[in-house]
Amino acid sequence: MKHILLIATGGTIASKRSDSGLKPLMSSEELLSYVPDIKTFCQVDTLQLFNLDSTNIQPGHWLAIASAVEKHYEDYDGFVICHGTDTMAYSAAALSYLIQNSPKPVVITGSQKPIDMEITDARTNLSDSLRFAACEKAYGVSLVFDGKVIAGTRAKKERTKSYNAFSSINFPYIASIQEDHILFYLDDKMLLKEPLTFYRHLNSSVGLLKLIPSMDASVLDYMAEHYDGVIIESFGVGGLPNYDTCGYYDAVKKWISQGKTVVMTTQVTNEGSNMSVYEVGRSIKYEFGLLESYDMTLEATVTKLMWILGQTKERERVREFFYRTVNRDILWKV
Ligand code: ASP
C-alpha cells in the first residue's frame, strides 16, 4: 500500500466559523479524519506546517513546504499539501520550480467550503488528491481540484465561489478523477529523464505592474528602484504605450541599463503574448531584449522569475532559464 504524507498549511478546507469570519483552525489529523475511506488505498501520515489563510502565504512559506517535501522525500511515495485556494496557483507554480523532475507526485489541493460542512467539495478534493498521490503513473507537481488534475504551472483560480474554481491555462488537463478511477489524458511519466532537483533560494524582489489606459511611466521608475525584476501586464498580445508624454520608452531603457529584468506579459488569460506582432511591442522588445511570458500563466511568470533571480542575475542566464520548460510551463520556443 502507498505511503503518503499529508502536509497541512491552512485555507478554507481547514477553516471553522469564528466571530471574525472563517479562520483556519483544524489540524492535519482532523482533516484526515473526514476521509476514512482512503484507508482502502493508502496509508497517510500528517504534518502541520502552519495554519494560514493563503492570503498570508509568502515565498518563505513556499520554501518551507519544499523543504518539508525534501526532508521526507525518501520516506513516502507521494505528498498532498492542503492549502487555501486564493493563492494556491502561485504556490503550485512556486513548488514546480522548487521541486523539479520529481518522479513522486506532489499534489496541492484545497476547497471552496470547509471540510466540516455537510455540503462541501473538501472531502472529494482531499480523497481525490490522496488517490492521485498514490497512483503509480502520477509524478511531478500538480493541483487537484473538482475532479481535475492540472500541471502545477498551469493552474489559475478563475471562480471565487463555484466548486470548479481552477482552470488549466493554455494546456490540457493531465487527468480527471471520477470516483475511484483516474483517467489520464497525458500519460508520459516514462519521458521523465532529468534528475530530481530541489532548489532552496527564491528572490522575492519581483514586482508586477498592470497597465491601464492613461498611466504614465513614473510608477515604473519607482518599481525599478525597489525590485530586481519587474513584470508588466500589458494589453492583448503585448506592447507598451508610446505616445509622446507617457515616458515608457525612457523608463525601460533606464532599467535595462541598470541590469534589471523586465518581463512582458498580458492581461488576457488565454492564448498568451506575442510582442512581435505590433509595432508597439516589437520595437521595444528587440531594442531592449525584453523577455515575454508567451503562453505562461501570470502565476508561473511571477514565481519563475523569483526562482531564476534566486539563482542568477546574469542577463543571458536569466534569459536561458526563463525560456527553458519546467513542469510544462512554456510551450513557445524562441
Ligand atoms: N481565503 C481562503 C484561503 O485562500 C480561501 C480558500 O481557501 O478557498 O485561504
Q: For the segment 13-41, what is each residue's pLDDT rounded down to a tens digit?
A: 999 999 999 999 999 999 999 999 999 99
Measure CA 267 to chain center: 17
Ligand 1 atom nearest 55 alpha carbon: 4
Whole-number Å distance, alpha carbon 14 to ligand 1 midpoint, is 9
Per-residue model confidence as pLDDT tens digits over 298-325: 999 999 999 999 999 999 999 999 999 9
Whole-number Å distance, alpha carbon 88 to ligand 1 midpoint, is 8
pLDDT at 243: 87
Distance CA 234, CA 246 (A): 14
Q: Which of 9, 51, 53, 116 to mutate to test the pocket of ligand 1 (most atoms within 8 A of CB)?
A: 53
Whole-number Å distance, alpha carbon 69 to ligand 1 midpoint, is 22
* Mean pLDDT, residues 260-289: 94
Whole-number Å distance, alpha carbon 147 to ligand 1 midpoint, is 19
* Mean pLDDT, residues 32-60: 98
Cell for 215? 498611466
DSSP string, 62-102: HHHHHHHHHHHGGG-SEEEEE--STTHHHHHHHHHHHEES-
pLDDT at 225: 87
Distance CA 254, CA 172 (A): 39
Distance CA 67, CA 61 (A): 10
Binding-site residues, ligand 1, Cβ < 6 A? 10-12, 53-55, 84-86, 110, 112
Task: Place 86 in a pLDDT band, splitting at 50, 70 and 90.
Answer: very high
pLDDT at 40: 97
| CA angle centred on 235, ends 331 and 54, rounded to 5° | 70
pLDDT at 100: 98
Distance CA 172, CA 186 (A): 8
Per-residue model confidence as pLDDT tens digits over 171-188: 999 999 999 999 999 999
Catalytic, out of 12, 124, 301, 303:
12
Q: Which residues pair with 177 in a beta bridge?
A: 182
Contacts of 316 (CB under 8 A, 6+ apart): none
pLDDT at 217: 87
Residue 142 has pLDDT above 80, yes or no: yes
Whole-number Å distance, alpha carbon 72 to ligand 1 midpoint, is 26
Long-range CB pairs of 125-128 (<8 Å, 24+ gap) are 125/13, 126/13, 126/31, 126/34, 126/35, 126/80, 126/82, 127/35, 127/37, 127/38, 128/177
Residue 334 has pLDDT above 70, yes or no: no
Higher model confidence: residue 165 or residue 225? 165
Q: Which residues pair with 82 in a beta bridge?
A: 8, 109
Distance CA 201, CA 206 (A): 14
Per-residue model confidence as pLDDT tens digits over 224-263: 889 999 999 999 999 999 888 888 889 999 999 999 999 9
Q: Which of 15, 87, 113 to mutate to test the pocket of ligand 1 (most atoms within 8 A of CB)?
A: 15
| CA angle centred on 151, ends 328 and 168, rounded to 5° | 105
Q: Which of 31, 54, 58, 299 to mutate to test the pocket of ligand 1 (most atoms within 8 A of CB)?
A: 54
Q: Is 12 a catalytic residue?
A: yes
Ligand 1 atom nearest 24 alpha carbon: 9
Average pLDDT value for the chain: 96
Per-residue model confidence as pLDDT tens digits over 188-218: 999 999 999 999 999 999 999 999 998 888 8
Is this structure's pTM higher than 0.95? yes
* Closest of 90, 15, 5, 95 to residue 52, by C-alpha: 15
pLDDT at 245: 82
- Nearest-CA residue for atom 3 of ligand 1: 84
